[in-house]
């Protein structure tokens, strides 16, 4: 960074202060210090009220603070100043769909981003998925199917997975240059994987970051195909991910989910076991509460539930047993249980006591996956607990919806969908920040 200038060049000093506030704002945001990030962003905005970078940062701070309406306003203001600014265009689409549950607005915002010439191939896939997910929420499954079937980003994702596999097998080979590749999809994938926007080679950490994003986008694409009743397409995408990243637990989990949806539980269970084995050595994130805290929260949530059948679980002479473990045990995985389930109702199988709940298991690893970040943990636990208990007790759709409405109201989380679809909070990108 340039040094502060003297009185003869006041603009130089102002530029340095502005850049410093921006840098500090992003650094605070990366560390989760939202209040400090807001102060830095506001100082940058004070120095340059019409600079789109400061406006965009203010939007990201608002999103991190749980104020999506404010975030969207800042993103749109940045686009008014600079209509071709890709980052706030992407962020607007994500906030509209995942925070504001405004699918029509999300489609418009995604289409706006897709029309920008500087939009990269991975960002384009992100926006195609946002638009498709929004169209499904609007009941326009045909539009979503056509969008995904025709989008060129399918080829880019496939090329990226193949290039990652080649790089894994030949780590010391020279980096492929996009200009040397006759296939456009391979050229786009190589540019995204191996080079930054300025054309400089990515370092190993940057390369791994791009691979992680490819994995996340591929998993979302597979889930979207499943929702469109295309398990064949979902399985194909999941196999691409496993081919490119065979040591990634998320890739195998996506494949397990796809096989389960396609009616092939045996293959699905094998993939789920592989996912669990790969993940077994990973520590549970520190933001997940310990077993005693979670056990107490579950009892409290049951005792204050709006439905008497749920409250009865802790009011009866022998209260429900609450078990907290780090991970789903292998014997349950072999029985077809989702390796990333967070709450599981336990009870007799079959007979007159089929809908009786004897115990509840809470799995900290699954809770971490569903929550994504610390601020959401207890709210997600509330939702998943009421959802699991409602199904286990065979409550009606209206009764289960009332339970979830209560959980959402208590946690302050937004309802992911209000149209009765199967939208889940985990469909959204993790965390409360919407980076391009």
Lowest average pLDDT, out of 12-26, 139-153, 262-276, 410-424, goes to 410-424
| Residues in CB range of 120: below 8 A, 6 or more apart | 86, 192, 197
373-411 pLDDT, tens digit per residue, is 777 899 999 999 999 999 999 999 999 999 998 988 887
pTM over 0.85: no
Same fold, 153-279 and 291-427: no
Asked if residues 45 and 31 have their Cβ atoms less than 8 Å apart, the reply is no
**To the nearest whole number, what is the mean pLDDT of the chain?**
87
In this structure, CATH architecture of domain 291-427: 2-Layer Sandwich (3.30)
Q: Taking residues 411-428, what's their average pLDDT? A: 42
Look up the CATH superfamily of 10-119. Answer: Tetratricopeptide repeat domain (1.25.40.10)
3-40 pLDDT, tens digit per residue, is 333 334 344 577 888 888 999 999 998 887 889 999 99
In this structure, CATH architecture of domain 153-279: Alpha Horseshoe (1.25)
Please tell me whether residue 224 adopts helix, strand or coil conformation: helix
The tokens of 143 are what?
């539009």
Instruction: Check residue 172 and give its pLDDT.
Output: 84
Asked if residues 346 and 358 have their Cβ atoms less than 8 Å apart, the reply is yes
Asked if residues 202 and 196 have their Cβ atoms less than 8 Å apart, the reply is yes
Q: What percent of the chain has pLDDT over 90?
A: 71
Please tell me whether residue 325 adopts helix, strand or coil conformation: strand
Nearest to 386 by CA among 300, 278, 271, 288: 300
Q: Can you give the length of the chain in residues?
A: 436
| Residues in CB range of 79: below 8 A, 6 or more apart | 52, 85, 88, 89, 92
CA–CA distance, 426 with 430 (Å, rounded to integer): 7
Q: Report angle CA 27, 28, 29 to the nearest 5 degrees.
A: 90
**Would you call 106 exposed, middle or buried from its count of C-beta atoms within 10 A (0-12, 13-18, 19+)?**
buried
Cross-sheet strand order for the sheet of 343-346: 321-325, 359-363, 343-346
Instruction: Check residue 213 and give its pLDDT.
Output: 95
> Where do the structural domains in the chain lie, given as residue ranges?
10-119, 153-279, 291-427
Asked if residues 347 and 357 have their Cβ atoms less than 8 Å apart, the reply is yes
Q: Give the confidence band of 354 by pLDDT, cuts at 50, 70, 90.
A: low
102-121 pLDDT, tens digit per residue, is 999 999 999 999 999 989 99
């Amino acid at each position: 960074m340039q040094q502060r200038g003297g009185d003869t060049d006041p603009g130089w000093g102002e530029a340095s202060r502005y850049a410093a506030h921006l840098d500090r704002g992003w650094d605070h945001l990366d560390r989760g210090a939202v209040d400090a990030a807001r102060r830095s962003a506001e100082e940058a905005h004070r120095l340059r009220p019409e600079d789109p970078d400061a406006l965009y940062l203010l939007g990201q701070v608002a999103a991190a603070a749980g104020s999506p309406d404010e975030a969207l306003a800042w993103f749109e203001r940045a686009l008014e100043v600079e209509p071709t600014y890709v980052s706030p265009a992407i962020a607007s689409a994500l906030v509209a769909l995942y925070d504001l549950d405004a699918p029509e607005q999300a489609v418009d915002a995604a289409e706006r981003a897709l029309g920008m010439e500087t939009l990269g191939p991975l960002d384009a896939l992100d926006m195609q998925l946002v638009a498709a997910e929004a169209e499904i929420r609007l009941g326009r499954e045909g539009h979503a199917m056509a969008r995904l079937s025709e989008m060129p980003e399918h080829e880019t994702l496939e090329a990226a997975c193949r290039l990652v596999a080649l790089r894994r097998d030949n780590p010391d080979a020279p980096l492929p240059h996009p200009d040397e590749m006759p296939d456009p999809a391979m050229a786009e994938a190589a540019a995204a994987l191996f080079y930054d926007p300025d054309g400089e080679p990515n370092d190993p950490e940057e390369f791994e970051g791009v691979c992680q994003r490819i994995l996340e986008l591929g998993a979302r694409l597979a889930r979207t195909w499943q929702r469109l009743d295309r398990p064949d397409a979902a399985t194909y995408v999941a196999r691409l991910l496993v081919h490119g990243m065979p040591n990634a637990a998320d890739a195998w989990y996506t494949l397990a989910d796809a096989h389960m949806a396609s009616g092939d539980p045996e293959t699905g269970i094998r993939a789920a076991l592989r996912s669990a084995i790969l993940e077994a050595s990973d520590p549970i994130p520190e933001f997940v509460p310990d077993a005693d805290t979670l056990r107490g929260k579950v009892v409290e949530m049951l005792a204050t539930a709006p439905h008497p059948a749920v409250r009865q679980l802790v009011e009866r002479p022998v209260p429900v047993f609450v078990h907290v473990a780090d991970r789903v045990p292998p014997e349950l995985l072999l029985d077809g249980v989702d390796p990333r389930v967070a709450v599981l109702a336990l009870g007799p199988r079959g007979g007159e006591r089929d809908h009786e709940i004897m115990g509840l298991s809470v799995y900290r690893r699954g809770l971490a996956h569903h929550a994504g970040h610390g601020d959401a943990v207890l709210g997600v636990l509330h939702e998943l607990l009421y959802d699991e208990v409602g199904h286990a007790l065979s409550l009606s759709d209206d009764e289960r919806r009332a339970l979830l409405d209560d959980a959402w109201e208590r946690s302050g989380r937004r309802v992911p969908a209000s149209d009765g679809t199967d939208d889940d909070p985990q469909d959204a990108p993790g965390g409360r920040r919407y980076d391009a």
